[in-house]
Amino acid sequence: MREGTRLGFILLLTPLLLWLSLLILIPHVDMFLVSIRERVGVGKYDISLANYRTFWGEPLYLWTFARTAVMSILATIITFLIAFPVSYYIAKIARGRLQSALFLACLIPFWVSELVRTFGWMILLRETGVFSGLLQWLGLAEGPVEMLYNDAAIMVGLVYTSMLFMVVPLVTTLESLDDAVIEAGYDLGGNGWSVLREIVLPHAKPGIVSGSIVVFMLSLGNYLTPTMLGGKDSLWFTELIYSQFIVRFNWELGAAFGFMLLLLSSLIVWGMLRLTGETLEETMG
């Protein structure tokens, strides 16, 4: 009997262990080894921290990372501001079939691939695109308006891509909030704002934090949206990594960049958790 349960335990654990070691651990170790190599001649390499020095020494790379991080945080905030009312409506106000229909509506954009969604935005925003044409037809604009290829376009793309990842955790936590608690808040003389601040937001905090972490990491690691919508000034950190690996054949620097991204983004998430007083266990559990 005992032997049987242990076998079952091992069998259940195997996929997880395989996944962790084959797809996460081993590639990262390999990446790290690549990142501490320095090319000293044709086909010759030395162990050194030169690539990390390049990252810290060249203001361009630090600046790009800072820009990417700030834009991602901004995208997270905007996503939250849009997703919160939506989730509140779905969780607390909508009932029955409407509730599931609305929830489904949030899911629908994810039935097509990210590439197609991004192309959709390009068709809408470009100079000869839908919005530009509409504005001219309404007489609001004289000539064609270019809305693509700027930071606002990147932001629109990022927020749109990450909506769902904010809505789902928010809906789950808000649904667990007893309506009676909200009523009690009003009975005790609270108004809409104070009820939101004192009751709803504190209860939803784990959902907010976990949603924010996911959205932040997704935005930070997004490659497609910034490159396609951003135009000549886009400059996204993942783009730098891609070009080091593929265009420049400089795997060493690319790997160092990858590690810095992992490290710095973990640091930012840790900082955010400290700031909100949440722990990772509470948020994810």
Partner 1 sequence: MRRMKTIAASVLSVAVLGLAQTASAETLRLLTWGGYAPENVVEMFEKETGITVEVTKSNNEEMIAKLRATGGGGFDLIQPSQDRIAGPQLEFGIYKPIDLSKIDKSLFIPSMLEATMKNTTVDGQVYGVPHVWGTSGLVVNTKKAPMVKDYLDLCAPEVAGKVTYRLKRPTLIAFAFSMGMDPFAAYGDEAAYKDILSKVEAKLIECKPNVKTYWSGGDELLNLMRSGETVAAMAWDTGGWKLNAENPDITFVAPKSGALGWIDTFALPAKGQADDAAYKWINFVMQPKVAAMITEAAGNFTASKGADEYVSADLKARYQASFPPEAVDNIKWYPPVPAGLEALEGAVLDRVKAAQ
Note the residues at the interface with partner 1 (CB under 8 A).
7, 10-11, 14, 18, 22, 39, 42-43, 60, 63-64, 126-128, 146, 148-149, 227, 231-233, 235, 240, 243-251
Min separation Cβ 157 and partner 1, Å? 15
Cβ neighbours for 215, distance < 8 A, ≥ 6 positions apart: 75, 76, 79, 80, 162, 165, 166
Min separation Cβ 62 and partner 1, Å? 11
Distance of CA 224 to the CA centre of its chain: 13
Nearer to partner 1, 11 or 47 (CB): 11
Nearer to partner 1, 47 or 247 (CB): 247
- For the record, the structure tokens of 275 come out as 């700031």
Longest dimension (CA), the chain: 81
Min separation Cβ 64 and partner 1, Å? 7
Min separation Cβ 198 and partner 1, Å? 45
Nearer to partner 1, 243 or 279 (CB): 243
Q: How many CB atoms lie within 10 A of CB 185?
A: 18
Nearer to partner 1, 35 or 162 (CB): 35
Min separation Cβ 147 and partner 1, Å? 12
Min separation Cβ 164 and partner 1, Å? 28
Nearer to partner 1, 172 or 227 (CB): 227
Nearer to partner 1, 216 or 251 (CB): 251
